[in-house]
Structure 1
Amino acid sequence: MRAAIRPVGAADASAFTAAARASRRLHRPWVTAPCDAEAFARYLARFDGVAHHGFVVVAEGELAGAVHLTNVVMARCAAATWATSRSRVSRAAG
Structure 2
Amino acid sequence: MNDGAIDVSQAGRTDAAHRVTLRRLGSADRDEFLDLVRASADLHRPWVSLPSTPEQYRAYLARYAKPDEESLLVCVRGSGNVAGLVNINSIIRGRFQSASIAYAAFAPSAGRGYMSEGLELVVRYAFEQLRLHRLEAQIQPENEASLKLVRRAGFRYEGLSPELLYIDGAWRDHERWAITSSMIDIAPTPPHATLPER
TM-score (norm 2): 0.45
Instruction: Name the SS of the counterpart of 1:39 in structure 2.
Output: helix
Match of 1:77 among 90, 96, 118: 96
Match of 1:37 among 50, 54, 69: 54
**Cα distance change on mapping 1:76 and 1:42 into 2, 3 Å:** same
**Structure 2 residues not aligned, in runs of 5+:** 1-17, 114-198
Matches within 5 A, 1:46-61: 46-59=63-76, 60-61=79-80
Instruction: Name the SS of the counterpart of 2:74 in structure 1.
Output: strand
Match of 1:91 among 88, 106, 110: 110
Name the count of aligned residue pairs. Answer: 94
1:64 counterpart residue number: 83
Greater RCO structure (CA 8 Å; 6+ sep): 1
Cα distance, 1:77 vs. partner? 2.5
Deviation readout 1:4-41 (Å, 9 max, x if unpaired): 11110001101100000000110111111112211111
Cα distance, 1:74 vs. partner? 1.6
State the alpha-carbon separation in 2 of the partners of residues 92 and 12 from structure 1: 22
State the alpha-carbon separation in 2 of the partners of residues 93 and 48 from structure 1: 30
Cα distance, 1:46 vs. partner? 0.8
Instruction: Name the SS of the counterpart of 2:37 in structure 1.
Output: helix
State the alpha-carbon separation in 1 of the partners of residues 97 and 45 from structure 2: 31
TM-score (norm 1): 0.90
Deviation readout 1:54-74 (Å, 9 max, x if unpaired): 111111311111110011012
User: In terms of Rg, which structure is larger?
Assistant: 2
**Structure 1 residues not aligned, in runs of 5+:** none
2:32 counterpart residue number: 15
What amino acid does structure 2 have at the position aligned with 1:23?
S
Instruction: Name the SS of the counterpart of 1:5 in structure 2.
Output: strand
Identity of aligned residues (%): 33
Q: Which runs of 4+ in 1 moved over 4 A?
A: none
Instruction: Name the SS of the counterpart of 1:67 in structure 2.
Output: strand
Instruction: Name the SS of the counterpart of 1:75 in structure 2.
Output: coil
